[in-house]
């Protein structure tokens, strides 16, 4: 009778431990709704229309943009489609302006225009190591994917 009680308890403990480890390991996965972590993220906004994000630690906009394009290519390929076209592009750079007040300077650039704003975020500095500059860069692409003949546009990319 005791063995029957211990087995489910062990199973429950294993499940709880697995969930705890999964929560810790995915702590830095990018989540734009919570503005935490880094890496790729995408969301479907309509059929074959996606918003693709890539957030990186540091201030290299070109590399972050290339990583977003690479994720868009991977996403298009995984949908078994041939090409994608970038309809809109935006780059957001955030930098800790004041360590004591947790003031973050946010620069948003798209369509050759940039806008700056500031906000308070006490958790922003937690995503950096002691040697990293507290700066993040995020590239956001709105893409439309397709199959067959690729549009003859300079913002059109083949997945092959």
Report the pLDDT value the prediction gives residue 111, as an integer from 0 to 100.
85
* End-to-end Cα, the chain, rounded Å: 61
Residue 14 lies in a domain: no
Residue 18 lies in a domain: no
Residue 21 lies in a domain: no
Residue 38 lies in a domain: yes
Residue 120 lies in a domain: yes
Is residue 83 predicted with pLDDT exceeding 60?
yes
Calculate mean pLDDT across residues 39-66.
91
Report the pLDDT value the prediction gives residue 16, as an integer from 0 to 100.
53
Q: Quick one: how many helices (H) and strands (E) in the chain?
A: 2, 7
Top-confidence residue, 42 or 29: 42
β-bridge mates for residue 84, sequence order: 145, 157
Is residue 22 predicted with pLDDT exceeding 60?
no
Closest CA to 92 of 49, 59, 127: 59
Distance, CA of 51 to CA of 118 (rounded, Å) = 24
Residue 5 lies in a domain: no
The pTM (predicted TM-score) of the whole model is: 0.74
């Amino acid at each position: 009778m005791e063995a029957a009680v211990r087995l489910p308890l062990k199973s429950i403990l294993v499940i709880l431990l697995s969930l705890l480890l999964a929560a810790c390991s995915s702590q830095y996965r990018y989540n734009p709704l919570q503005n935490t972590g880094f890496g790729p993220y995408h969301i479907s906004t309509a059929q074959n229309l996606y918003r693709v994000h890539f957030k990186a630690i540091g201030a290299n906009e070109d590399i972050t943009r290339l990583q977003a394009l690479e994720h868009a290519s991977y996403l298009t390929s995984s949908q078994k489609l041939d090409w994608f076209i970038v309809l809109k592009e935006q780059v957001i750079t955030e930098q800790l302006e004041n360590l004591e007040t947790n003031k973050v300077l946010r620069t948003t650039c798209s369509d050759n225009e940039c806008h700056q704003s500031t906000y308070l975020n006490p958790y922003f500095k937690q995503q950096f190591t002691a040697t990293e500059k507290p700066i993040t860069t995020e590239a956001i692409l709105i893409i439309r994917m397709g199959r067959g003949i690729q549009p003859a546009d300079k913002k059109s990319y083949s997945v092959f």
